[in-house]
Amino acid sequence: MLSLADGAFRGILIDMDTRERKQGRGFVAIVFLLLVVNLVFATAANILIKLSSDAATAALFIVFQIAGNVAGLLGVLAYTGVLKRLPLHIGYPLTQGIAAIGVLGFGSVLVFKESFGTREAIGCALVVAGVALVGIGARKRGKLEAPRVPFADRGLDRPPEGSC
C-alpha cells in the first residue's frame, strides 16, 4: 500500500519537473517539505483535540485545545504553501489524503491503540488509490499549469470595487 502512495507522490513531483525548471531547483523539495509539515501538524492537531476530549480537568482541556488549534493553524499555513505551488485539484486531495492516513495510522492506532480492521485497511487503500489517481492524472496532462489567480487577466490582484 505504501509503495502505491509513494509512486503517486513521485508521479506528481516528477511531473512538476517542467515547472521546477522555471521556478528553481528547490521547487520539488519545498512542495515535499510542505506536504510533510502539513501531515505532521494535521496529525498532531487531531491527536491533541482528541486528548482534550478525554481531559480530566478543565485546565488540561484548555491546554490540549490551545495546542491542537496552534498545530492546526501551522498545518493550514503549510497547506497554504502547498496551494501556492500546486493547483487546487492536486493540492487538496494530496494533503487531505495523506492527513487521513496520518491520523488513522499514527493517531488512532499508535497513540490511542484503537482497532484497525479490514474495513479500515480497505478505506486506507481507497484513499491511497485516490491520491494515486490524482498523480496519474497529473502525469497524463504532461505538466502542471500554474495556479490561476482570479482577476489577474485584468491586471487586478483582488476583485474590482463593488463586484462582491
H or E element: which one contains 99?
A: helix 88-102
156, part of any domain = no
Taking the CA atoms of 51, 53, 56 and 59 in sequence, report the sign of the dihedral they define.
Answer: positive
Q: How many domains does the chain have?
A: 1
pTM: 0.69
**Are 98 and 131 in contact, with CB atoms under 8 Å apart?**
yes
Q: Which domain holds residue 112?
A: 2-143
**pLDDT at 6 (0 to 100):** 54
157, part of any domain = no
154, part of any domain = no
pLDDT averaged per 10 residues, the chain (length 164): 52 50 69 94 96 96 98 97 89 88 88 90 88 73 56 62 64
**pLDDT at 131 (0 to 100):** 81
137, part of any domain = yes
124, part of any domain = yes
47, part of any domain = yes
Torsion from C-alpha of 65, 121, 35, 152, nearest 10 degrees? -100
69, part of any domain = yes
Q: How far is CA 26 from the centre of its chain?
A: 19
**On the CB side of 119, how many CA atoms lie within 13 Å of its CA?**
1
62, part of any domain = yes
**Are 74 and 37 in contact, with CB atoms under 8 Å apart?**
yes
